[in-house]
A and B are shown apart, each in its own frame.
Chain A
Amino acid sequence: DAKTTQPPSMDCAEGRAANLPCNHSTISGNEYVYWYRQIHSQGPQYIIHGLKNNETNEMASLIITEDRKSSTLILPHATLRDTAVYYCIVRSGGGSEKLVFGKGTKLTVNP
């Protein structure tokens, strides 16, 4: 599975959009991009995933570049409860279950 690169930390003002980038330049054609977040030391929580097209759900939007080498997770109106570590991972759509989590981005939402 491809490795990902994320900035170690970001800050965002409450109520503003938080845009978290992820580079996955070695992603292959059948690999999906997944985003999870971890609040304190709780179990990671699924946010969103995509293959080629941009995706949106009730939590966030995912923008994937046309060459698929990078993506951005957008939290449209960040709240204090969105303060967490956000992980971008890529996973094959085939049978492999071997997943690689990077160190993620620590997002701090400030009042």
Chain B
Amino acid sequence: EAQVTQNPRYLITVTGKKLTVTCSQNMNHEYMSWYRQDPGLGLRQIYYSMNVEVTDKGDVPEGYKVSRKEKRNFPLILESPSPNQTSLYFCASRSRIAGTQYFGPGTRLLVL
């Protein structure tokens, strides 16, 4: 089944404790993105990647890192999480040719 998976789905952590949210897709898509969603603000793009080793900032990249060492994986790294990074996070992917994005199920993060 074609899908985007994220892990973990729920995470509670404390300020400053490094964490990684994994994202994996099995559709051989070139493009992958991370979004965060907050009440009243909609979906905002954090980072995106157009291929292996190619990443760029979205609208709200501060406090986040990404890497794209393999085509199927695009982890989101929070080196020193803060409470303002409490949010719902989505990973998405699409092929280079088609514009349709496929979204993962989401990761709900709470930073205390």
Contacts of B50 in A (CB 8 A): 95, 97
Residue of B nearest to A104 (CB): B42
Give the number of chain B interface residues (Cβ < 8 Å): 28
* B101 x A46 contact (CB < 8 A): yes
Total of A-B residue pairs, C-beta within 8 Å: 60
- 1/0 per position for B86-104, CB-CB distance to A under 8 A? 0010101000000111111
* B45 x A46 contact (CB < 8 A): no
Contact residue among B31, B90, B102, B108 (Cβ-Cβ distance under 8 Å from A97): B31
The distance in angstroms between the C-alpha atoms of A32 and B44, with both chains bound, is 19
Taking residues whose C-beta sits less than 8 angstroms from the other chain, chain A's interface range is 20 to 34
* A43 x B40 contact (CB < 8 A): no
The distance in angstroms between the C-alpha atoms of A42 and B88, with both chains bound, is 10
* B100 x A45 contact (CB < 8 A): no
The distance in angstroms between the C-alpha atoms of A97 and B92, with both chains bound, is 11
Q: Is A93 an interface residue (CB 8 A)?
A: yes
Chain A interfacial positions (CB closer than 8 Å to B): 32, 34, 36, 41-46, 49, 87, 91, 93, 95, 97-104
